[in-house]
């Protein structure tokens, strides 16, 4: 384990596992993903870990990042691996050290309780929208709708 893992009290060992794309039961969707790191805990359960960089630390773990960790854990299950009840995100925020006259990194570890019930509900909502011949209109408050609109400008 890297030294900064130990600094935050993370235990276990890092694993390299090939995850197969899997069909999500009761949908027309296929799930795929590759976590930045996979930790195997003392009970041989797999725990997803992701790295993020940002200009500042978030007050709490953003919802899209929570869903990302939930998705990795669900993919572990679909690939028949035992899963843990949590996931982790390391945030790295750069700062300038005047004494050393160089850029350094401050780190924080965020723990997330895996929520597969919320994820499955989210997945079924996506599946329902994609199957609908008349998708809902874009929302001004939806960042994904904004992204889709921005992409049309370049497309």
What total number of domains does the chain contain?
Answer: 1
Give me the pLDDT at residue 152, please. Answer: 64
> What is the full per-residue pLDDT of the chain (155 aa) written as tens digits?
777 788 888 888 999 998 999 999 889 899 999 999 999 999 999 999 999 999 999 999 999 899 999 999 999 999 999 999 999 999 999 998 899 999 988 999 999 999 999 999 999 988 988 888 887 777 778 766 776 677 665 44
Instruction: Give SS3 for 109.
Output: strand
Give me the pLDDT at residue 4, please. Answer: 76
Instruction: Report the length, in residues, of the chain.
Output: 155
Give me the pLDDT at residue 131, please. Answer: 87
Would you give the DSSP letter of residue 25?
T
Question: By the 8 A CB rule, do 50 and 69 touch?
Answer: yes
Side-chain half-sphere CA neighbours of 140 within 13 A: 0
Instruction: Give SS3 for 123.
Output: helix
Give me the pLDDT at residue 134, please. Answer: 82
Give me the pLDDT at residue 155, please. Answer: 47
Global confidence as pTM: 0.83
Could you tell me how far CA 83 lies from the centroid of its own chain? Answer: 15
Which residues span the domain enclosing 38?
3-154
Characterize the bridge pairing of strands 30-31 and 37-40: unpaired
Give me the pLDDT at residue 153, please. Answer: 52
The greatest distance separating any two alpha carbons of the chain, rounded to the nearest whole angstrom, comes to 61
């Amino acid at each position: 384990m890297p030294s900064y893992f130990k600094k935050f009290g993370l235990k276990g060992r890092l694993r390299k596992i090939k995850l197969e794309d899997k069909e999500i039961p009761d949908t027309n969707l296929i799930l795929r993903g590759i976590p930045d790191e996979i930790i195997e805990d003392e009970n041989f359960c797999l725990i997803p870990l992701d790295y993020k960089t940002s200009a500042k630390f978030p007050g709490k773990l953003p919802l899209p990042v929570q869903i990302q960790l939930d998705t990795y854990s669900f993919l572990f299950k679909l690939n028949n691996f035992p899963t843990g009840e949590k996931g982790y995100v390391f945030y790295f925020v750069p700062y300038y050290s005047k004494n050393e006259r160089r850029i350094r990194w401050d780190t924080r570890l965020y723990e997330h309780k895996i929520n597969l019930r919320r994820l499955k509900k989210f997945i079924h909502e996506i599946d329902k929208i994609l199957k609908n011949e008349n998708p809902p209109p874009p929302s001004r408050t939806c960042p994904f709708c904004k992204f889709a609109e921005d992409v049309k400008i370049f497309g």
